[in-house]
């Protein structure tokens, strides 16, 4: 259903601009950051996560393509990182573009990453999902992901 293709430098530049803005908006929405500092914090975090940009070691940034039409339907960014029980594949960002959501693309990416994780010598896959992203959380649970941490807040 899908195939992953490494981003070109131009695609990475375009994706990164949108990814930073989206990440800042998510952090602001859930109350972690403010409107005033959100974009700056996103810039700082991306610089820390991807110090060599697209060429950062052990980081993989790909477009998600429909296998039949070759049309870009989203992106995925994952990295091999140390874990408590050995190396783990961490999904830093998985996004399916709006017109293609709820059509099975995200599930196909996650299944593809199962094989990729094994090929890279990792023994687990980890990811972060915002608590208010109910559709994503349901998909991850359906595919065997278990919650390991839950943060909660009560607004007064």
DSSP state of 154: -
Give which of 111, 135, 90 is closest to 3, Cα–Cα. 111
Q: Which two tokens stand for residue 25?
A: 């908006």
Q: What is the CATH number of the domain that holds 51?
A: 3.40.630.30
Residue 43 lies in a domain: yes
Q: pLDDT tens for residues 85-133?
A: 899 999 999 999 999 999 999 999 999 999 999 999 999 999 999 999 9
Is residue 59 situated within a structural domain? yes
At residue 65, the pLDDT reads 98
Top pLDDT among 121 and 150 is at: 121
Does some domain include residue 121? yes
- Judge contact between 139 and 127, C-beta under 8 A: no
Tokens describing residue 9: 């430098």
Quick check: is 85 in a domain?
yes
Q: What is the DSSP letter of 59?
A: E
**Domain-located, residue 45:** yes
Does 151 reside within a domain? Answer: no
Whether 55 is covered by a domain: the verdict is yes
Residue 24 inside a domain? The answer is: yes
Structural domain that includes position 81: 2-142
Number of domains in the chain: 1
Task: Determine the Cα–Cα distance for residues 16 and 59; give it in Å rounded to an integer.
Answer: 14
Asked if 120 and 57 touch (Cβ cutoff 8 Å), the reply is no
Claim: this prediction has a pTM higher than 0.85 = yes
Indicate the helix (H) or strand (E) that contains 22. helix 9-29
Residue 155 has pLDDT above 90, yes or no: no
């Amino acid at each position: 259903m899908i195939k992953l293709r490494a981003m070109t430098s131009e695609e990475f530049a375009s994706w990164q601009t949108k990814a930073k803005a989206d990440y800042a908006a998510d952090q602001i929405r859930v109350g972690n950051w403010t409107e005033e500092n959100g974009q700056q914090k996103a810039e700082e975090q991306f610089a820390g996560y991807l110090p060599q940009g697209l060429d950062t070691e052990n980081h993989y940034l790909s477009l998600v393509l429909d296998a039949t039409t070759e049309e870009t339907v989203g992106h995925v960014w994952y990295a091999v990182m140390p874990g408590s029980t050995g190396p783990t594949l961490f999904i830093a960002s998985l996004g399916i573009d709006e017109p293609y959501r709820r059509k099975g693309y995200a599930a196909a990416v996650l299944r593809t990453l199962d094989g990729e994780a094994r090929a890279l010598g990792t023994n687990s896959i980890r990811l972060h999902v915002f608590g208010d992203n109910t559709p994503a959380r349901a998909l991850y649970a359906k595919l065997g992901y278990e919650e390991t941490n839950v943060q909660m807040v009560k607004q007064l």
